[in-house]
Amino acid sequence: MGSEFFTNICKAVEEAGGTWTMLEQVRSADLQYDSEGCLKEGVTPLGSLDSDAAKMVRVNTWHDSNAADAVKNVSIVLFTGGEDISSTLYYSQQPWHGITGEIDFNAERDVSDYLTMTYCLDHDIPVLGFCRGMQMLSVVSGAEIMQDVPASFAEQGIAYHYEHRNEKLTPDSYRDYAPHDVQVALNSYLYRMADTAVLRGCPSWHHQAVKSIENTRLVVTGYTDTNGIQMIEAVERTDKTFAVGLQFHPEAAIVKHLENAENQNSFMDYETALSIFKWVVQQKYLEQDEEAAA
């Protein structure tokens, strides 16, 4: 069925009264695939895209792909959390961060998500990205990415206490979400969705982050202070009808409350988390468009 990030999103959409469908894999005609949809070339030993394959994807984007067919029957595309994005896809390419304990790539998904995102943005199809999904929106838009949050803080000589993802104590232990607050910009879609200037107890599970949106069409609409560093927690593209990214996981809060998890009260309350998904399911972003045109 998929990872926890995927299944939690599905449950949240259903809880909000919506229906979901899993999109087919989007493939680039510039790359070779086997019968199972796995890339036959362009993949590094780490599982990420090599620089040549990534260049093909970045330059040609959704052209000569099946992206149009993949999204033709949906009202909005949700991009879920998941693996790290190949750093070769960044606008300013970076070498791999070199942390062996954080090898987590999926080259086929990188291609599919990148092509789908670029198609949606070029055709103004509404998108909402969570965690990796926000990072993909940001990568496509030319943002600068922090490949490893703990390493970045260490390089700056700043204390880091795993505020954005719990430290894994043993190889087999469950690494739960870390709760933290997010300050929300009042003129943002996130504010309209959640109806609050401060989102309390946002479930967070990431070791990478958007570092800078300078010289992009993104705007920061949510942040959290982490030992004096304003970490970006929400972005949107103001040149599109609705293109929003959230670094945190409101869907996880919904599921924790539904399942009566022992630590459910450490996280965002059910109604607030659900309001984000209700707003999307009810396509409130179209109402905002109509109001602007009136």
Strand ranges (E), 218-264: 218-226, 229-237, 243-246
CA atoms within 13 A on the CB side of 167: 6
8 Å CB contact between 244 and 234:
yes
8 Å CB contact between 132 and 138:
no
Higher pLDDT, 287 or 251: 251
Rounded to an integer, what distance in angstroms lies between the CA atom of residue 194 and that of residue 41? 43
Rounded to an integer, what distance in angstroms lies between the CA atom of residue 15 and that of residue 12? 5
pLDDT at 294 over 60: no
Q: What CATH code is carried by the domain that includes residue 33?
A: 3.40.50.880
243-246 and 229-237 beta bridge pairing? antiparallel
Amino acid 164 reads H
pLDDT at 168 over 90: no
Rounded to an integer, what distance in angstroms lies between the CA atom of residue 209 and that of residue 193? 22
The residues with which 144 forms a beta bridge, in sequence order, are 212
User: What is the domain extent for residue 227?
Assistant: 4-293
Instruction: Give the global pTM.
Output: 0.95
pLDDT value of position 1:
46
pLDDT value of position 110:
98
Model confidence at 293, in pLDDT bands (50, 70, 90)?
A: low
pLDDT value of position 172:
76
pLDDT tens digits, residue range 194-226?
999 999 999 999 999 999 999 999 999 999 999
Number of domains in the chain: 1
pLDDT value of position 65:
98
Higher pLDDT, 100 or 275: 275
The string of DSSP letters for 116-168 reads HHHHHHHTT--EEEETHHHHHHHHHTT-EEES-HHHHHHHTT-----SSSPPP
pLDDT value of position 287:
84
pLDDT at 52 over 50: yes
Model confidence at 2, in pLDDT bands (50, 70, 90)?
A: low
Rounded to an integer, what distance in angstroms lies between the CA atom of residue 32 and that of residue 49? 13
